[in-house]
C-alpha cells in the first residue's frame, strides 16, 4: 500500500480518470435514477411526483403486462434456437475452411454486419410485402395460390430478428471452433467414436464457450430490438422493448417504463451472470 501511494497511482489514475468520471456520471447515475424513478408516482399530466410507491411493479404483475414479458421471452427463445440452428453450423463449417476461404467468408459476413440493420430490414419489407418478391415466387412456382401477406406477421418478425442477430452467433462459434484442436476430434474418431458421437462428445463441448457467448449476445438484444418488431410486425407483436418505448414516448408514464426497464435489466443480468457461472469467462468470445 505504501508503494502505490508513493507512485503508480498518480499517472495511472489520471489516465483512467476520464473513464471513471464518465462511467460515474453517465452510466451509474442514470442507472440509479432509473431505479429511483421506478418507485415514484406518475404525475397527472406531465412528469413525476415524489411519492414512493410500489404500484409500478404491481402494475407489471397484471396479466396484460405479464403476457408481454412472456411473449418477449418466447420470441427471444424461438429466435435464439433458430439462430443456433442456422449460425452454429455456419461457424463450425467456416472454421474448417482453408485460410484463404476463411478470410473471404468473414469478409463477406462483415459487409451485411456493417450495413445498417434498418436498411437490411427494409430489404425484408420488399420481400415480405403482399404481392412482393416472395409471394410472386411462391405463386409462380404454384406453391401458394394467393398472396401470403407475410409482412406484419409473427414469422416476419422472427425472420428479421434471426437475420439481424445471426452474425453474432456465427462469429462467436467461429472464434471458438477456430481455436479448437482438431486433432482431439481425430483422436475421438481413432478411439472408435462415430462422427456423430465425436461431434457431441468432443466438438460440441469444446465449442460450447462460443455457443454460449453467442446465445448471450443474441438473447439480450432480441428482447429489446423493438424496431424490428415495429417495422416487420406492425403493431401485432408487442415486446417489452416496444412497451417501454410506448410508455416513455406516448403514454408518458416514466415511472412505469423505469420499472419495466428494471425488470428487463434484472433478467439480462441474470443471463449474463448465468453465462459467467457456467463458462467462468469474463469477456464474451467473438464479441466486438
CA distance 18 to 104: 39
Provide φ and ψ at 44, rounded to 5°.
Answer: -55, -55
Which residues lie across from 48 on neighbouring strands?
A: 42
Q: How far is the CB of 22 from another protein (least distance, A)?
A: 6
- Determine if 77 is a binding residue for another protein (CB under 8 A): no
Of 66, 71, 41, nearest to 56 by C-alpha is: 41
- For residues 135-194, which are near another protein according to CB under 8 A? 136, 163
Stretch that binds another protein, among 53-61, 150-158, 205-213, 215-223 (CB under 8 A): 215-223
Binder among 39, 65, 88, 90 for another protein (CB under 8 A): 90
- Determine if 34 is a binding residue for another protein (CB under 8 A): yes
- Determine if 108 is a binding residue for another protein (CB under 8 A): yes
- Determine if 210 is a binding residue for another protein (CB under 8 A): no
Residues in contact with another protein, counted by CB under 8 A, come to a total of 90
| Alpha carbon distance, N-terminus to C-terminus of the chain | 36
Q: How far is the CB of 61 from another protein (least distance, A)?
A: 20
- Determine if 225 is a binding residue for another protein (CB under 8 A): yes
Torsion, Cα 253 259 265 267, to 10 degrees, reads -120
- Determine if 11 is a binding residue for another protein (CB under 8 A): yes
- Determine if 12 is a binding residue for another protein (CB under 8 A): yes
Residue identified by cell 419495466 is 260
Binder among 66, 265, 278, 281 for another protein (CB under 8 A): 265
148 in Cβ contact with 127 (< 8 Å) = no
Q: Is the dihedral of CA 25, 31, 36, 37 positive or negative?
A: positive
CA distance 189 to 47: 66
- Determine if 107 is a binding residue for another protein (CB under 8 A): yes
Amino acid at each position: 500500500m505504501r508503494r502505490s501511494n508513493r507512485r503508480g497511482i498518480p499517472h495511472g489514475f489520471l489516465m483512467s480518470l476520464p473513464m471513471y468520471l464518465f462511467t460515474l456520471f453517465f452510466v451509474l447515475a442514470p442507472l440509479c435514477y432509473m431505479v429511483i424513478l421506478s418507485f415514484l408516482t406518475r404525475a397527472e399530466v406531465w412528469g413525476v411526483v415524489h411519492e414512493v410507491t410500489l404500484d409500478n411493479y404491481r402494475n407489471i404483475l397484471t396479466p396484460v403486462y405479464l403476457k408481454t414479458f412472456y411473449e418477449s421471452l418466447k420470441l427471444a427463445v424461438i429466435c435464439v434456437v433458430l439462430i443456433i440452428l442456422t449460425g452454429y453450423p455456419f461457424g463450425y463449417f467456416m472454421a474448417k475452411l482453408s485460410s484463404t476461404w476463411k478470410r473471404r467468408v468473414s469478409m463477406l459476413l462483415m459487409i451485411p454486419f456493417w450495413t445498417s440493420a434498418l436498411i437490411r430490414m427494409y430489404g425484408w419489407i420488399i420481400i415480405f410485402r403482399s404481392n412482393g418478391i416472395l409471394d410472386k415466387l411462391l405463386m409462380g412456382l404454384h406453391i401458394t395460390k394467393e398472396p401470403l401477406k407475410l409482412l406484419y406477421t409473427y414469422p416476419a418478425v422472427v425472420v428479421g430478428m434471426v437475420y439481424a442477430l445471426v452474425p453474432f452467433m456465427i462469429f462467436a462459434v467461429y472464434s471458438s471452433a477456430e481455436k479448437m484442436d482438431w486433432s482431439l476430434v481425430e483422436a475421438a474418431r481413432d478411439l472408435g467414436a462415430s462422427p456423430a458421437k465425436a461431434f457431441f462428445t468432443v466438438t460440441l463441448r469444446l465449442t460450447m464457450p462460443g455457443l454460449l457467448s453467442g446465445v448471450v449476445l443474441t438473447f439480450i438484444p432480441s428482447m429489446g430490438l423493438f424496431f424490428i418488431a415495429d417495422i416487420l410486425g406492425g403493431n401485432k407483436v408487442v415486446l417489452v422493448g416496444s412497451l417501454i418505448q410506448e410508455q416513455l414516448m406516448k403514454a408518458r408514464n416514466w415511472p412505469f417504463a423505469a420499472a419495466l426497464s428494471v425488470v428487463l435489466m434484472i433478467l439480462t443480468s441474470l443471463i449474463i451472470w448465468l453465462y459467467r457461472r457456467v463458462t467462468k469467462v469474463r469477456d464474451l468470445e467473438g464479441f466486438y
